[in-house]
Amino acid sequence: MLSVVTFLPLLVCAVLPLLPRTVPDQGYVWVWIATAAADFALVVALWAGYDTHGGTQYEQRARWIPSAGAGYHVGVDGLSLPLVALTCLLFLAVAVYSLREKRRVRSYVCLFLFLQTVGIGLFVALDLILFFVFFDLSIVAMFFVIAGWGHGERARAAALKFFLYTFVGSLALLLGFIGLYLAADPHTFDIVDLTRDNPLAGRGLYAALVLLAIGVGLAVKTPTVPFHTWLPPAHSDAPAAGSAILAGVLLKMGTYGFVRIAMPLLPGSWRRYATVIVVVGAVSVVYGALVALAQTDFKRMIAYTSVTHMGYVVLAIGAAGTLAGADAQARSLAVTGAVTQMVSHGLITGALFLLAGVLYDRGRTHAMGAYSGLAAHTPRFAAVTAAGAFAGLGIPGFSGFIAEFQIFTGALASHTIATAIALTGVLITAALFLTALRRMFMGAPSLPRTVPTGGIADLRGAETVSTVALLAVALVIGVAPRWLLDVIEPAGRTLTGLVAR
Amino acid sequence: MNENPADLVPELALLGVAVLGLLTGSWLPRRRQWIVALLAATACTTGLVATAVTMATDRERTVFSAAFAVDTATGIGRLVVLTGLLLVIGMSVGTVRNHERETEYWVLLLLSGAGTLALTGADDLLMLFAAYLLAGLPAYALTAFAKDGRGTEAALKYYLTGALLGTLMLAGTALLYGAGHTTHYRGLSTALPTAPYGLVAVGLIGVLAGLLFKSGAVPAHFWVPDVTEGAPVPVAAYVATLPKVGGLIALYRLLHQAFSGSDVNWPLLLAILAGVTMTLGNLAAFFQTSVTRLLAYSTISQAGYLLMALAVATRSDLAQKGLLFYLAAYTVTNLGAFAVVTALPHARTLTDYRGLARRRPGLAAVLVVCLLGLVGTPPTGVFLGKLEVFSATLDGGFTWLAVLAVANTVASLFYYLRWFGPLFVTHDSAPARVQEVAGRSSAATAYVAATLSVALGVAGQAVLTLSEGPLLR
pLDDT for res B270: 94
Q: Is the pLDDT of residue B59 over 70?
A: no
Q: Is the pLDDT of residue B161 over 90?
A: yes
How far, in Å, CA of B93 to CA of B109, rounded? 12
Q: Is the pLDDT of residue A500 over 90?
A: no
Under the banding of pLDDT at 50, 70 and 90, the label for residue A417 is: very high
- Could you tell me which residues of chain A have a Cβ less than 8 Å from any Cβ in chain B? 63-68, 104, 129, 132-133, 136-137, 140, 144, 147-148, 156, 160, 163-164, 167-168, 171-172, 174-175, 178-179, 181-182, 209
pLDDT for res B430: 77
pLDDT for res B356: 87
Which residues of chain A have a CB within 8 Å of the CB of B413? 163-164, 167
Q: What are phi and psi of B262, to 5 degrees?
A: -70, 145
Q: Counting beta carbons within 10 angstroms of the beta carbon of residue A279, is it exposed (0 to 12), middle (13 to 18) or buried (19 or more)?
A: middle
Which residues of chain B have a CB within 8 Å of the CB of A164? 410, 413-414
A66/B461 CB distance under 8 A: yes
Task: Find all residues with CB under 8 Å of B401, minimum gap 6, and list them.
Answer: B271, B274, B275, B308, B311, B393
Give A386 or A154, the one with higher predicted confidence.
Answer: A386
Q: Is the pLDDT of residue B269 over 90?
A: yes
Q: What is the reported pTM?
A: 0.92
Predicted confidence (pLDDT) per residue in A461-494, tens digit: 889 999 999 999 999 999 999 999 999 999 999 9
Share of residues in chain A with pLDDT > 90 (%)? 65
Q: Which residue of A has its CA nearest to B468?
A: A67
Q: What is the mean pLDDT of residues B214-226?
A: 90
Q: Is B372 on the interface with A (CB under 8 A)?
A: yes
Q: Is the pLDDT of residue B133 over 70?
A: yes
Nearest to B468 among A64, A67, A182 (CB): A67
Helix (H, G, I), strand (E, B) or coil at A228: coil
A378-384 LR contacts (CB < 8 Å, sep 24+): A378/A456, A378/A457, A378/A458, A378/A459, A379/A458, A380/A458, A380/A459, A380/A464, A381/A355, A381/A458, A381/A459, A382/A441, A384/A351, A384/A355, A384/A459, A384/A464, A384/A467, A384/A468, A384/A471
Q: Counting beta carbons within 10 angstroms of the beta carbon of residue A207, is it exposed (0 to 12), middle (13 to 18) or buried (19 or more)?
A: buried
Q: What is the mean pLDDT of residues B344-370?
A: 88
pLDDT for res A344: 95
Q: Which amino acid is at B465?
A: T
Task: Find all residues with CB under 8 Å of B240, minimum gap 6, and list them.
Answer: B216, B224, B227, B228, B295, B296, B299, B334, B338
A67/B377 CB distance under 8 A: no
Under the banding of pLDDT at 50, 70 and 90, the label for residue A445 is: confident
pLDDT-wise least confident of A30-39, A165-174, B425-434, B455-464: B425-434
CA distance A147 to chain B (A): 8
Quickly list DSSP for A133-147. Answer: HHHHHHHHHHHHHHH
8 Å CB contact between A50 and A488: no
Which residues of chain B have a CB within 8 Å of the CB of A160? 417, 421
pLDDT for res B472: 73
Q: Is the peptide bond before A186 cis (omega within 30 degrees of 0)?
A: yes
pLDDT for res A104: 85
Q: Is B19 on the interface with A (CB under 8 A)?
A: no
8 Å CB contact between B120 and B78: yes
Q: What is the mean pLDDT of residues B213-235?
A: 91
Q: Counting beta carbons within 10 angstroms of the beta carbon of residue A88, is it exposed (0 to 12), middle (13 to 18) or buried (19 or more)?
A: buried
How far, in Å, CA of A129 to CA of A120, rounded? 15
Which residues of chain A have a CB within 8 Å of the CB of B387? 68, 129, 174, 178
First to last CA, chain A: 33
Q: Is B307 on the interface with A (CB under 8 A)?
A: no
Give B231 or A152, the one with higher predicted confidence.
Answer: B231
Nearest to B378 among A133, A147, A172 (CB): A133
Q: What is the mean pLDDT of residues A346-351?
A: 94
pLDDT for res A191: 93
Give B311 or B472, the one with higher predicted confidence.
Answer: B311
8 Å CB contact between A499 and A267: yes
Predicted confidence (pLDDT) per residue in A231-259, tens digit: 888 888 899 999 999 999 999 999 999 99
Distances (CA, A) of B411 to A175, A224, A349, B331, B415: 16, 23, 33, 21, 8
CA distance B398 to chain A (A): 12
Q: Is B319 on the interface with A (CB under 8 A)?
A: no
Which residues of chain A have a CB within 8 Å of the CB of B373? none
Please name the helix (run of DSSP H) or strand (run of DSSP E) that holds residue A72, with its range, or none. strand A70-76
pLDDT for res A155: 85
pLDDT-wise least confident of A108-112, A387-391, B30-34, B364-368: B30-34
Predicted confidence (pLDDT) per residue in A187-209, tens digit: 899 999 999 988 888 888 899 99
B387/A168 CB distance under 8 A: no
Which residues of chain A have a CB within 8 Å of the CB of B421? 147, 156, 160
8 Å CB contact between A496 and A316: no
Nearest to B413 among A104, A129, A167 (CB): A167
Q: Which residue of B has its CA nearest to A172?
A: B406
First to last CA, chain B: 14
pLDDT for res A53: 84
Cα atoms in the Cβ-side hemisphere of radius 13 Å centred on B130: 13
Q: What is the mean pLDDT of residues A340-366?
A: 92
Predicted complex ipTM: 0.88
Q: What is the mean pLDDT of residues B247-263?
A: 91
Q: Is the pLDDT of residue B1 over 70?
A: no
Which residues of chain A have a CB within 8 Å of the CB of B355? none
Q: Is B406 on the interface with A (CB under 8 A)?
A: yes
Give B4 or A13, the one with higher predicted confidence.
Answer: A13
A179/B394 CB distance under 8 A: yes
Choose, out of B317, B358, B387, B468, the residue to mutate when testing the contact with A (most A CBs < 10 Å).
B387
How far, in Å, CA of B290 to CA of B285, rounded? 10
pLDDT for res A325: 66
pLDDT for res B5: 77
Which range among A315-324, A447-456, B214-223, B271-280 has the greatest average pLDDT?
B271-280
CA dihedral for B347, B348, B351, B356, sign (positive or negative): positive
8 Å CB contact between B384 and B272: no
Q: Which residues pair with residue A127 across a beta bridge? A: A190
Q: Is the pLDDT of residue B466 over 70?
A: yes
Please name the helix (run of DSSP H) or strand (run of DSSP E) that holds residue A350, with its range, or none. helix A328-363
Question: To the nearest whole number, what is the mean pLDDT of chain B?
Answer: 90
Under the banding of pLDDT at 50, 70 and 90, the label for residue B433 is: confident
Choose, out of B72, B278, B377, B451, the residue to mutate when testing the contact with A (most A CBs < 10 Å).
B377
Please name the helix (run of DSSP H) or strand (run of DSSP E) that holds residue A59, with its range, or none. strand A57-65
pLDDT for res A450: 73
Question: To the nearest whole number, what is the mean pLDDT of chain A?
Answer: 90
Q: Is B397 on the interface with A (CB under 8 A)?
A: no
pLDDT for res B469: 78
Under the banding of pLDDT at 50, 70 and 90, the label for residue B392 is: very high
pLDDT for res B386: 92
Count CB pairs under 8 A between chains A and B. 72
Q: Which residues 234-263 of B are in CB contact (within 8 Å) with A?
A: none
Q: Counting beta carbons within 10 angstroms of the beta carbon of residue B440, is it exposed (0 to 12), middle (13 to 18) or buried (19 or more)?
A: exposed
Q: Which residues pair with residue A65 across a beta bridge? A: A70
How far, in Å, CA of B58 to CA of B72, rounded? 11
Q: What is the mean pLDDT of residues A373-389?
A: 90
Residue ranges of E strands in A177-245: none
Which residues of chain A have a CB within 8 Å of the CB of B372? 140
Q: Is the pLDDT of residue B452 over 90?
A: yes
Share of residues in chain A with pLDDT > 70 (%)? 99
Q: Is the pLDDT of residue B473 over 70?
A: no
